[in-house]
């Protein structure tokens, strides 16, 4: 059997392959040869074969059949074998395979080998990929080597200990004694690894941290020596002595000084010294300065030192080196919360970085810019950010748009400015805004009552230009649906009102319906908007026509809407004005999203929710009119009853609000109605996020001997209140008090007026319909005060 080909021979051969297939063929051939060689238990060439296998593994080919061979190599006496064996173990084995445990004994033996390089191999392998079990078994050996005077082994043992601690934190204690005089070493390798070990221990255990605080003076001394000592060729990097060690010491000082006045005080001077004396012409000096800045910001440093640190970062921002600028922006981002004013001073430099060509820097600059926006600089900053939004990569646009919306919401100097800013974002980056922006914007627009005319005009004009950006189109459709009357009547005060006819508006909305660019969601918005205009425009016939056409649309959602709107025209025309009325001001919930009346995907609004289920209500037309006329028409806002019994709460927000409504003040329940065996009790809760909202739960019980079916509860309140009725639990009130129907009413009472309510009950009892009206005036004072 000829000798297996040499490693370098194989590498050369494989590199001549011209195609992937050719390479694969060569590899397969060689693997087969190696396999049979392994089977023959050939000791001489095992090393060579494993080395070749490792090369092929690096090319991406499977090499697991070599795992056991690595173990055999490790067990061999030849150093060459061990070297390759351990390398193979580190590359091919890991703790997932049980086979790795077979290494433990070999490593143990090698840790006690007479040759330090063998010991080194074992320490390195253990410190790189040792599993928890291996670490547990061998920790004692590592600890022994940590105390040796051989610096070659000591430094490796220290890092091995770090790995052991990471894998098995409980073993940390056992290394404590060995750390006693680690820092008195002269050897830099040992010093460096010792600092790493100490850092690891301090990070993991507060006890260790307090224990090691006493090392601060020693660390300061070592650092001082490094800085003050003359040129030392062995550790010099561009005129700086052992920057790696300096950085690690600074890091350890950071951990020790954090939250501790005495330690911070003890390191103050050295930090100032490093900060002022370090050479900044090369990267290495800046690396040390960077670490120093991080340390200064984290410990309890005196203000002068902090200002020094921020100024260093400020200088970094002006550095030609991109890396330095990037690192400065990252650090400033970390400190902007705690040292806001100091960072503000560098605002203009930071904003300039938005124009940097480098993507990483632009991103950091954007994040930092948003963090720096406040009430004073909002106008200027927004100008820069909007310009950035215009010109930045698509990857940034979504985040930038969201950031702008947030900043605008927090610091808008005026409502007009706010709307203008939103318009600008929608028109420049309209396709990139997040889905939840649409309902948020709708809520914002609704609540800016005096800007309605201006907003709808601007949005209309934007639509004329471009209908491709869906979020813009959706918000615009919604607004036109709501405020179309303001648009055609030319009521805008903020700018020159445009002349537009009803037909032109309907042209635009219908255009959205047929356009290829519109998504199904957008189409839904336009259809609803068109429907809403039926109560605001006079072109009723045109609208009816559109609605009836879409009654046979392929899109199920559109079809359903059209069918229901059609039904509105045909059977429930009297309800149409009420249903399609102007939206009230929306309450902001604790989650900062739109209130219960709008679902979080922005797709539906309450009118749609209502109209969807309207056909199932069986009351005759005239009674609805009665409801509207209840209290003389002037001072009543009629309420829309929502939904069929089995439908759950319409948006997650409502349910969350209900669950959050645990108030500490208990309001006594009251009986609102008691007649003919039907008792309706009201129980109260106060809405936690908003004390102006009273949550009333009605409990209807029936003491008669027959069920009350088709039970419907309706309520009306005076105009200063707003009321919302949620779904009832059922529409059958069982006989003999066997159960109850519950329903939740939410009343918004911002003016804190005395609560009064008129209720209307309809049900069928023993085959005949029953109807009753009643006034409820006995609300306990706590429910509205």
Partner 1 sequence: MRGGAGGIQLFSMRFLLLFSRQGKLRLQKWFTALSDRDKKKIIRDVMQMVLVRPPKSCNFLQWRDLKIVYRRYASLYFCCGLEQGDNELITLELLHRYVELLDQYFGNVCELDIIFNFEKAYFILDEFIIGGEVQETSKASVAKSMEEADSLQETMEEYLNKPTY
Tell which positions 267-326 bind partner 1, by CB under 8 A. 283-284, 286-288, 290-291, 294, 322-326
Phi-psi group of 28: left, alpha or beta (phi > 0 → left; psi -120 to 50 → alpha; rest → beta): alpha
Name, in order, each residue with C-beta under 8 angstroms of 781's C-beta and a sequence gap of 6 or more: none
Query: Which spans in 533-619 are helix H?
Result: 540-549, 556-570, 576-579, 606-613
Among 199, 518, 528, 743, binds partner 1 (CB under 8 A): 199
| Least CB distance to partner 1 at residue 546 (A) | 49
**Among the listed residues 449, 382, 433, the one whose alpha carbon sits nearest the alpha carbon of residue 409:** 382
Among 40, 94, 466, 503, binds partner 1 (CB under 8 A): 94
Window 357-376: contact mask with partner 1 (x via CB under 8 A): -xxxx-x-------------
C-alpha to C-alpha distance for 131 and 128, rounded to whole angstroms: 9
Q: Which CB, 189 or 734, lies closer to partner 1?
A: 189
Secondary structure element (H or E) that encloses residue 395, with its range: helix 394-411
Window 63-92: contact mask with partner 1 (x via CB under 8 A): ---------------xxx--xx--x---x-
| Footprint (CB under 8 A) of partner 1, residues 100-139 | 115, 117, 120, 123-124, 127-129, 131-132
Among 31, 34, 51, 583, binds partner 1 (CB under 8 A): 51
Beta bridge mates, 237: 240
Among 24, 29, 59, 207, binds partner 1 (CB under 8 A): 59
Q: Which CB, 55 or 454, lies closer to partner 1?
A: 55
Window 139-158: contact mask with partner 1 (x via CB under 8 A): -------------x--xx--
Q: Which CB, 253 or 512, lies closer to partner 1?
A: 253
| Least CB distance to partner 1 at residue 52 (A) | 8
Q: Which CB, 321 or 775, lies closer to partner 1?
A: 321
C-alpha to C-alpha distance for 428 and 387, rounded to whole angstroms: 10
| Footprint (CB under 8 A) of partner 1, residues 324-343 | 324-327
Told to check if 243 binds partner 1 by CB under 8 A, we report yes
Residue whose entry in the numeric block shows the structure tokens 């209309």: 460
Q: Which CB, 14 or 617, lies closer to partner 1?
A: 14
Among 167, 576, 647, 756, binds partner 1 (CB under 8 A): 167
Among 244, 387, 417, 569, binds partner 1 (CB under 8 A): 244
| Least CB distance to partner 1 at residue 167 (A) | 5
Do the beta carbons of residue 744 and residue 697 sit within 8 Å? yes
Residue 485 is encoded by which pair of tokens?
């009357």
| Footprint (CB under 8 A) of partner 1, residues 169-198 | 169, 188-189, 192-193, 196
Q: How many residues bind partner 1 (CB under 8 A)?
A: 84
C-alpha to C-alpha distance for 457 and 580, rounded to whole angstroms: 20
The three-state (H, E, C) secondary structure of 665-734, written as one string = CCCCCEEEEEECCEEEEEEEEECCCCCCEEEEEEEEEECCCCCEEEEEEEEEEECCCEEEECCCCCCCEC
Q: Among 1-9, 207-215, 605-613, 736-744, which window interacts with partner 1 (CB under 8 A)?
A: 1-9
| Least CB distance to partner 1 at residue 571 (A) | 57
| Footprint (CB under 8 A) of partner 1, residues 609-648 | none
C-alpha to C-alpha distance for 622 and 72, rounded to whole angstroms: 95
| Least CB distance to partner 1 at residue 259 (A) | 16
C-alpha to C-alpha distance for 785 and 217, rounded to whole angstroms: 64
- Nearest 5°: the CA angle 696, 701, 702 is 155
| Footprint (CB under 8 A) of partner 1, residues 707-766 | none
Q: Chain centroid to CA 30: how far?
A: 51
Window 10-49: contact mask with partner 1 (x via CB under 8 A): -x---x----------------------------xx-xx-
Query: Which spans in 336-469 are helix H?
Result: 340-344, 347-352, 359-372, 378-391, 394-411, 415-429, 437-447, 452-465
| Least CB distance to partner 1 at residue 637 (A) | 52
Do the beta carbons of residue 487 and residue 463 sit within 8 Å? no
Do the beta carbons of residue 286 and residue 324 sit within 8 Å? yes
């Amino acid at each position: 059997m000829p000798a297996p080909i040499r490693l370098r021979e194989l590498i050369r051969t494989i590199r001549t392959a011209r195609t992937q297939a050719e390479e694969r063929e060569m590899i397969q051939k060689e693997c087969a040869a190696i396999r049979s060689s392994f089977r023959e238990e050939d000791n001489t060439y095992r090393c060579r074969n494993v080395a070749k296998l490792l090369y092929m593994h690096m090319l991406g080919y499977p090499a697991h059949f070599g795992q056991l061979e690595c173990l055999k190599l490790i067990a061999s006496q030849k150093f060459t074998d061990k070297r390759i064996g351990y390398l193979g173990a580190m590359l091919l084995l890991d703790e997932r395979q049980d086979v790795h445990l077979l290494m433990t004994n070999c490593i143990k033996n090698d840790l006690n080998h007479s040759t330090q390089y063998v010991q080194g191999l074992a320490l390195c392998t253990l410190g790189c990929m040792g599993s928890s079990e291996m670490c547990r078994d061998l920790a004692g050996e590592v600890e022994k080597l940590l105390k040796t005077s051989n610096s070659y082994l000591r430094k490796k043992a220290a890092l091995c200990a770090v790995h052991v601690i990471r894998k098995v934190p409980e073993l940390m204690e056992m290394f404590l004694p060995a750390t006693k005089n680690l820092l008195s070493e002269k050897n830099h390798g040992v010093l460096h690894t010792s600092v790493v070990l100490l850092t690891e221990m301090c990070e993991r255990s507060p006890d260790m941290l307090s224990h090691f605080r006493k090392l601060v003076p020693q660390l300061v001394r070592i650092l001082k020596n490094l800085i003050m000592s003359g040129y030392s060729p062995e550790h010099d990097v561009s005129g700086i002595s052992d920057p790696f060690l300096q950085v690690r010491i600074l890091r350890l000082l950071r951990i020790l000084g954090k939250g501790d006045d005495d330690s911070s005080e003890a390191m103050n001077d050295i930090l100032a010294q490093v900060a002022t004396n370090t050479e900044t012409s090369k990267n290495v000096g800046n690396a040390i300065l960077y670490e120093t800045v991080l340390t200064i910001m984290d410990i309890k440093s005196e203000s002068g030192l902090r200002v020094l640190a921020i100024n260093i970062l400020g200088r970094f921002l002006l550095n030609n080196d991109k890396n330095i600028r990037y690192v400065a922006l990252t650090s400033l981002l970390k400190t902007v919360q705690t040292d806001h004013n100091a960072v503000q001073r560098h605002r203009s430099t930071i904003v300039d970085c938005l124009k940097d060509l480098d993507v990483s820097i632009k991103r950091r600059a954007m994040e930092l810019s948003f963090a720096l926006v406040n009430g004073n600089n909002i106008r200027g900053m927004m100008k820069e950010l909007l310009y950035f939004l215009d010109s930045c990569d698509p990857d940034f646009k979504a985040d930038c748009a969201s950031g702008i919306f947030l900043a605008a919401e927090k610091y808008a100097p005026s409502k007009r400015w706010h709307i203008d800013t939103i318009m600008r974002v929608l028109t420049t980056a309209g396709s990139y805004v997040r889905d939840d922006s649409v309902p948020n914007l709708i809520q914002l627009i609704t609540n800016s009552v005096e800007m309605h005319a201006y907003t709808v005009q601007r949005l209309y004009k934007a639509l004329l230009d471009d209908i491709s950006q869906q979020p813009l189109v959706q918000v615009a459709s919604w607004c036109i649906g709501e405020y179309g009357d303001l648009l055609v009547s030319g009521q805008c005060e903020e700018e020159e009102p445009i002349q537009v006819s009803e037909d032109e508006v309907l042209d635009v909305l219908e255009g959205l319906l047929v356009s290829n660019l519109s998504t199904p969601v957008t189409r839904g918005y336009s259809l609803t908007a068109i429907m809403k205009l039926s109560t605001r425009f006079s072109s009723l016939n045109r609208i009816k026509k559109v609605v009836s056409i879409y009654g046979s649309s392929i899109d199920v959602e559109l079809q359903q809407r059209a069918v229901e709107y059609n039904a509105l025209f045909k059977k429930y025309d009297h309800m149409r004005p009420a249903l399609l009325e102007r939206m009230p001001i929306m309450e902001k919930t604790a989650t900062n999203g739109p209130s219960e009346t709008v679902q979080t995907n922005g797709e539906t609004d309450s009118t749609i929710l209502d109209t969807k289920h309207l056909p199932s209500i069986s009351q005759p037309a005239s009674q609805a009119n009665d409801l509207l006329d209840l209290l003389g028409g002037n001072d009543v806002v009629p309420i829309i009853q929502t939904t069929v019994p089995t439908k759950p709460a319409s948006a997650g927000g409502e349910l969350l609000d209900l669950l959050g409504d645990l108030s500490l003040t208990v309001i006594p329940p009251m009986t609102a109605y008691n007649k003919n065996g039907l008792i309706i009790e009201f129980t109260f809760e106060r809405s936690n996020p908003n004390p102006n909202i009273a949550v009333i739960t009605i409990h209807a019980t029936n003491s008669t001997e027959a069920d009350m079916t088709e039970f419907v509860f309706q309520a009306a309140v005076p105009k200063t209140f707003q009321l919302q009725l949620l779904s009832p639990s059922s529409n059958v009130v069982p006989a003999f008090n066997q159960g109850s129907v519950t329903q939740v009413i939410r009343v918004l009472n911002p003016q804190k007026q005395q609560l009064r309510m008129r209720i209307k009950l309809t049900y069928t009892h023993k085959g005949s319909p029953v109807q009753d009206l009643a006034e409820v005036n006995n609300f306990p004072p706590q429910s509205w005060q």
